[in-house]
Amino acid sequence: MRKIYLLHFVVILSFIVSSVYAQGQFPYQNSDLPVTERVDDLLSRMTIQEKTGQLLYQSPSIPRLGVPEYNWWNECLHGVARAGYATVFPQSVTMAASWDKALIYEVASTISDEARAKHNKFLQLGERGQYQGLTFWSPNINIFRDPRWGRGHETYGEDPYLTGQIGKEFVMGLQGNDSKYLKVVATAKHFAVHSGPESLRHVFNAEISERDLRETYLPAFRTLVVDSKVESVMGAYNRFRGEACCASEKLDGILRNEWGFKGYVVSDCGAIADIWKTHKIVPDAAAAAALSLKTGCDLNCGKTYEALKEAMDRGIVTEKDFDLSLKRLFTARFKLGMFDPIERVAYAQIPFNVNDNTENAYLSRKTAQESIVLLKNQDKLLPLSKNKGTIAVIGPNADDIQSLWGNYSGIPSHPVTVLQGIKNKVEPAMNVIYAQGSDLAQGMPEFTNIPSVYLRTPDGKQGLKGEYFDNDELKGNPVYTKIDDQIDFSWVMTSPDPRLKTSNFSIRWTGSLIAPETGTYYISGRGRPSVKIFCDGKEVNAHYSNLRSFKIDLKKGQKYDIKIDYKNNRGEGALNLLWSVPEPDALQNAVATAKKADMVVLVLGLNERLEGEQMNVHQEGFAGGDRTSLDLPKVQRDLMKAVVATGKPVVLVLVAGSALSINWASENIKAILTAGYPGEQGGNAIADVLFGDYNPAGRLPVTYYKSVDQLPPFESYDMEGRTYRYFHQEPLYPFGYGLSYSKFEYSNFQIPERQVAGNPVKISVDVTNTGDMDGDEVVQLYLTDEKASTPRPIRQLEGFDRINLKRGATKTVEFELTPRQFSMINKDNKRIIEPGWFTISVGGEQPGFSGRCDANTTRTIQKRLRLTGRKVNIK
């Protein structure tokens, strides 16, 4: 009888447990259990096939376990990217020019607020696709070792210490400060020794010394792993010492064994396929997948890990290998609160209205202000008057919104160009006139939306005929048809009409285009996720960031057939139909415009159409996204000289993501500033500086060289002759350089005469604003090892602090140098501290320069320090 009762009890208990589990109460869903227990429970319930799918960035759902699908790919380099309207901050290298750690943290915190808000909204809409998740592949902390690298503007510049400190603040701002949950996941990329050329990234093998590895290429990664606890690291495309960076025992050992990294590693997109296709390390996909997984790459951006089943069948990978990576991946998802009730996760309750609001726009403007570097201000030409006369704004970057942000960008809802910023700033009595003057480069004109007046439907009405389909393949009959005046759309978490699903619709526009003038036009588009444009039977594929265009000769008044096929399978989308109208007399018009003015603001530079990631660009001075020259494009140089020849006072504003060899300008133009890629509020911020409402204090995060002739071969990763740390020639403008409208003096430099090696060194200095304006000063500390057993940098940045001083005010700035900051890699490839003499410099610029390279609104002071005792080993 007892056996019967016991059997009944077991059956009832099993039924209760099954019912509870059926309601979603697996142990892994218990928010009160430790994450390690929850992850172990979840993995114990998964099949091998299910596990394989979770190692791919497009991770499928597991309905029977209540695991939703998840796409790991998202971007937020300088704002949430590729997910519709978002606050667009200055590009990364531009933000680095602020040298303001607190500001970078605030920017990153704002970005992650918007990221969470968007993700929360996507979930409400049932969207879980690409660019909708919480795992962000930012920041890029590679060293901008050579100004020719097209992706350099994604980084924080050429210095390991500056990169590490800025990157650390960015990571902490992204990941949040909750003791249990991550706001989002940050990813330090691209690990490691990766900085071009873009054309060789899939085949290149970086061979460098252990000294360069440990003293230049790895320090920023170590800082982010050790100090900011970055949750994710992305492997690079190239090889390092013969090993693929996404399958390297050497790099995995440094990351996990030396630095104690506990997070997950993701491949760059397609990098694991490169292991067998281009690097030829192994013969096939299964072998590449097995090698990468076993050497620590947990997540595949790509499809190669689909071959892991074959690898297991061949016995070259085991379920244990799967589980090790899956534990890391699911730990991140649990730490993001993905399996917990919303009410338990404060970040999951961030409302959508924090996205793209006026407060965030103001922060973008503030960041742009702090990032502007004043390079020259002869005769105090700046600041300008805003209440009288005529000012001419000239140049291809003066009124082009695409020149504001650089790559990996979101869509700003209210971008402000330099022209508009100046118009916003000046009083009504001042006349502002404009001329473009030239294309960005030969054959790369400025694009604008095609006005409705030049579009006709097939039956002759103004606009284009739009056919709207309830699928993403333009199949069947359209749900409805209407006339669209202009193709200028952004669908953010919505669709064109309630009858269409947010992430499953397509549109075909047809009609004709009428040319207003006879000449050569460029037709293009900017759109996501999939767009094809046909004009007069010719096709051009639109791209989100790089405007690919085709050239076509049109006759005034003649009609030309046009068709646009747009397909959307994601919860966001955008499309602009663009053209460039011929202006054969652009240079002459610019000169005439300058002659009418009392002052000229000349806005030149580059944009993401010329420099960027593996691009199909082949121009004089540019190749595949990289640069072959540091000069401005020839059409811009011609424009600059023609405008200066008018004799009018000229202020040169540079908008670019990398160093420019503006030798002629530095000799012939009285005032020059560089704004980088200043973000959505760039025009307002530049105007704030031009007219004296903001006192500039940005500092260069890179060296401005006189030409590529001063540089070693681009393909060489040896640091000798590169960056301010190893460059022995005179630059055009040095790293750390920047002027102010005020002036700063340094005094009372306190430093011990000697210290025992292995102990920290405390330093202080008084900084006084002796000028007539309130302003910021960037206090920089450089260390020079006067004599060592292995080659040392000329000097190296080891501390910085941005401070604000009222005019006449003095502030004491303190630094503490850690023992590691005095260390070096010796001839035995060990990190040690060698006793000896060190020169420590403190000031508002890099020491050791005179003439044009000496910032005359600040200064530096130096003292020597002697480290005594024995050699000290450092881990």
Q: How many beta carbons lie within 10 A of that of residue 495, not counting itself?
A: 18
Q: Which DSSP helix (H) or strand (E) runs through 287?
A: helix 285-294
Percent of the chain exceeding pLDDT 70 equals 96
**Separation of alpha carbons 502 and 412, rounded Å:** 21
Asked whether the predicted pLDDT for residue 5 surpasses 90, the reply is: no
Express each pLDDT in 189-247 by its tens digit: 999 999 999 999 999 999 999 999 999 999 999 999 999 999 999 999 999 999 999 99
Per-residue confidence (pLDDT) for residue 127, from 0 to 100:
87
- Residue range 639-653: average pLDDT? 98
- Among 397, 409, 360, 370, smallest CA distance to 153 is for 409
Average pLDDT of the residues in 59-80: 97
Q: How many residues does the chain have?
A: 875
d(Cα 42, Cα 161) in Å, to the nearest integer? Answer: 41
pLDDT at 542: 56
Alpha-carbon gap, residue 665 to 650, rounded angstroms? 10
Residue 549 has pLDDT above 80, yes or no: no
Closest CA to 296 of 343, 338, 248, 254: 248
Biggest alpha carbon–alpha carbon distance for the chain: 111
Q: What is the pLDDT of residues 571-597, one digit of tens each?
A: 678 888 999 999 889 999 999 999 999
Query: What does the pLDDT read at residue 15?
Result: 37
DSSP bridge partners of 435: 394
The helix or strand, by DSSP H or E, that contains position 530, with its residue range, turns out to be strand 530-535
Q: How far apart are CA 288 and CA 265, in angstroms?
A: 16
Residue 528 bridge partners (DSSP): 574
Percent with pLDDT over 90 in the chain: 88
What are residue 619's DSSP bridge partners? 622
Strand ranges, E, within 192-289: 205-206, 232-235, 239-240, 243-244, 264-266
- Looking at 154, 198, 231, 268, which residue is catalytic? 268
Summarised one tens digit per residue, pLDDT across range 121-180 is: 999 988 898 999 999 999 999 999 999 999 999 999 999 999 999 999 999 999 999 999
* Burial environment of residue 585 by CB neighbours within 10 A (0 to 12, 13 to 18, 19 or more): exposed
Is residue 857 scored above 70 in pLDDT?
yes
Banded pLDDT at 21 (limits 50, 70, 90): very low
pLDDT computed for residue 541 by the predictor: 62
Q: Does the active-site annotation cover 284?
A: no
Is the predicted pLDDT of residue 17 greater than 50, yes or no?
no
Q: Which CATH architecture has domain 744-873?
A: Sandwich (2.60)
pLDDT reading at 7 higher than 70: no
Q: How far apart are CA 737 and CA 730, in angstroms?
A: 13
The pLDDT score that the predictor gives to residue 699 is 98
Residue type, 817: L
Question: In three state form, how does the secondary structure of 545-613 look?
Answer: CCCCEEEEEECECCEEEEEEEEEECCCEEEEEEEEECCCCCHHHHHHHHHHCCCEEEEEEECCCCCCCC
Comparing C-alpha atoms, which of 797, 826, 702, 706 is closest to residue 195?
Answer: 702
Per-residue confidence band for 2, with pLDDT thresholds at 50, 70 and 90: very low
Q: How far apart are CA 60 and CA 387, in angstroms?
A: 61
Q: Which of 399, 611, 680, 801 is catalytic?
A: 611
Sheet containing 761-769, strands listed edge to edge, beginning at the edge strand earlier in sequence: 744-750, 761-769, 810-817
CA dist 516 → 435, 454, 589, 631 (Å): 19, 7, 19, 35
Distance CA(456)–CA(174), nearest Å, equals 47
Dihedral of the alpha carbons of 544, 546, 548, 551, in degrees to the nearest 10: 130
Domain 453-580 carries which CATH code? Answer: 2.60.120.380
**Superfamily covering domain 2-354:** Glycoside hydrolase, family 3, N-terminal domain (3.20.20.300)
The Cα 214–Cα 194 span in angstroms is 14
Tell me phi and psi for residue 240, to 5 degrees. -130, 115
- Measured from the Cβ of residue 412, the count of other Cβ atoms closer than 10 Å reads 23
Active site residue 611: yes
The CA-CA-CA angle for residues 234, 270, 197, to 5°, reads: 75
Digit-coded pLDDT (tens) for 380-428: 999 999 988 999 999 999 999 999 999 999 989 999 999 999 999 999 9
Is the pLDDT at 307 greater than 50? The verdict is: yes
Given a cut of 60, is residue 20 above it in pLDDT?
no
For residue 615, give the 3-state DSSP assignment.
coil
Q: Where are the domains of the chain?
A: 2-354, 362-445+584-715, 453-580, 744-873
CATH, range 362-445+584-715: 3.40.50.1700
Question: What confidence tens digit (pLDDT) does each residue in 498-521 have?
Answer: 999 888 999 999 999 999 999 999
Report the C-alpha gap between 224 and 678 in whole angstroms.
Answer: 25
Burial of 39 (0-12, 13-18, 19+ CB in 10 A): buried
Going across the sheet that includes 232-235, the strands are: 187-191, 232-235, 264-266
Mean pLDDT of 257-281: 98
**Over the chain, what is the mean pLDDT?**
94
Confidence of residue 14 (pLDDT cuts 50, 70, 90): very low
- In the DSSP assignment, the letter for residue 260 is -
Closest by CA position to 682, among listed 439, 424, 488, 444: 424
Residue 326 predicted with pLDDT over 80:
yes
Rg (CA), the chain: 29
Mean pLDDT of 614-634: 94
- Is the CB of residue 640 less than 8 Å from the CB of residue 632? yes
Residue given tokens 């502030």 in the structure block: 811
Confidence of residue 548 (pLDDT cuts 50, 70, 90): low
| pLDDT interval class at 110 (50, 70, 90) | very high
Higher pLDDT, 255 or 551: 255
Give the E-state strand segments of 66-130 in sequence order. 70-71
Which of 131-148 are b and which e, b meaning 16 or more Cβ less than 10 Å from the residue's Cβ?
bbbbbbbbbbbbbbbbbb
- Find where tokens 């607190």 sit: 102
Instruction: Quote the pLDDT of residue 12.
Output: 41
Q: Using alpha carbons only, what angle is made at residue 617 by residues 443 and 551, rounded to the nearest 5 degrees?
A: 35
Q: Give the model confidence (pLDDT) of 178-187 as tens digits.
A: 999 999 999 9
Question: 173-212 burial by CB neighbour count: b if 16+ within 10 A, else e?
Answer: bbbbeeeebbbbbbbbbbbbbbbbbbeebbebebebbebb
**In the structure encoding, which two tokens stand for residue 219, read together?**
């320090």
